Amino acid sequence: MNTIFITGTAGSGKSLLTSKLLQWYEDHDSFAIGLNLDPGTIDLPYEPDIDVRNYIDINRLMNSYQLGPNGALMMASDLIATQLVEIQNEVNSLNADYVLVDTPGQIELFAFRESGLYFVSHFQSDNKATIFIFDGMLVSSPINYVSISLLASSIKLRLRTPQISLLTKRDLIIERLPEILEWSASIASLESALDKEKDSENSFLCKELVRSLSKGGFLEGIIAVSSLTMNGMVTLSASLSRILNQGEEVNS
């Protein structure tokens, strides 16, 4: 069984990507299941096979503990770890090739609190990988690109799984896409784009960060997809196979 944790900033396209990857694997004769781990979500673009909302009810938390929506979300995120055994049993009973885990909208509640980390590290699976989504609409300058790369690196440090950087919404940023892909492919071109920024103080800081991230192996290129047109899905699935199979080699 291969488990793919789909992470990224709020609204970056985690749930839509989950639905499209489920479809992709089904079309390619693999059995994939969707695990919704976002207790606060209302509408999903797919029917989850397993749903954390069956275990954790935000409205009940709000009423029982007199919490506002954010407090309830925080408590709900902390409760995810307590449901691991039940969720794992449900997953195991389905015997899937791929488990696609759609993680909570507010990434800090999942990745930076102990519960999410506990869930990722204790979830039993032959291989695990994380996709970190760069929201294409947020990558509007080289400085923004570096700041989201920092967040991606931080998630990698926290979750400690092999990770893929994925740029979504490529259909909405067709004109900017070549430039962003160039930054991701070559540190020199990212540095030269940073040199042209007017904000010289932040640009200098970003260049230092880029060098450190690159040395630490945190800047390993980005794959661009559109969950609307499915452009880029072939590359994404090939990259997922590679990183999941590598895990298999290490484990065996």
Ligand X SMILES: Nc1nc2c(ncn2[C@@H]2O[C@H](COP(=O)(O)OP(=O)(O)OP(=O)(O)O)[C@@H](O)[C@H]2O)c(=O)[nH]1
Residues in contact with ligand X by the rule CB under 6 A: 8, 10-16, 38, 41, 105, 168-169, 171-172, 226-228
Q: Is residue 15 a contact point for Mg ion (CB under 5 A)?
A: yes
Q: Give least dist CB 200 to ligand X, A.
A: 33
Assigned token pair, 51: 């749903």
Q: Is residue 7 a contact point for Mg ion (CB under 5 A)?
A: no
- Choose the stretch contacting Mg ion; rule: CB under 5 A; options: 9-17, 181-189, 231-239, 244-252: 9-17
72 binds, among ligand X, Mg ion, none (CB under 5 to 8 A by kind): none
Q: Give least dist CB 90 to Mg ion, A.
A: 20
71 binds, among Mg ion, ligand X, none (CB under 5 to 8 A by kind): none
Q: Give least dist CB 15 to Mg ion, A.
A: 3
Q: Give least dist CB 32 to Mg ion, A.
A: 17
> How far is it, in rounded angstroms, from Cα 14 to Cα 10?
8
Nearer to ligand X, 52 or 206 (CB): 52
Q: Which one, of 55, 41, 38, 32, lies nearest residue 103 by Cα?
A: 38
Nearer to ligand X, 209 or 225 (CB): 225
Q: Give least dist CB 191 to ligand X, A.
A: 28
247 binds, among Mg ion, ligand X, none (CB under 5 to 8 A by kind): none
Among all residues, whose Cβ is closest to Mg ion?
15
187 binds, among Mg ion, ligand X, none (CB under 5 to 8 A by kind): none
227 binds, among Mg ion, ligand X, none (CB under 5 to 8 A by kind): ligand X
- Residues 166, 131: contact at Cβ < 8 Å? yes
- Residues 219, 149: contact at Cβ < 8 Å? yes
Interface with Mg ion (CB under 5 A), residue total 2
Q: Is residue 36 a contact point for Mg ion (CB under 5 A)?
A: no
Nearer to ligand X, 169 or 207 (CB): 169
Q: Give least dist CB 98 to ligand X, A.
A: 18
Task: Give the pairing type, strands 163-168 and 127-135.
Answer: parallel
Q: Which one, of 31, 35, 1, 163, lies nearest residue 103 by Cα?
A: 35
**Interaction site with Mg ion (CB under 5 A):** 14-15
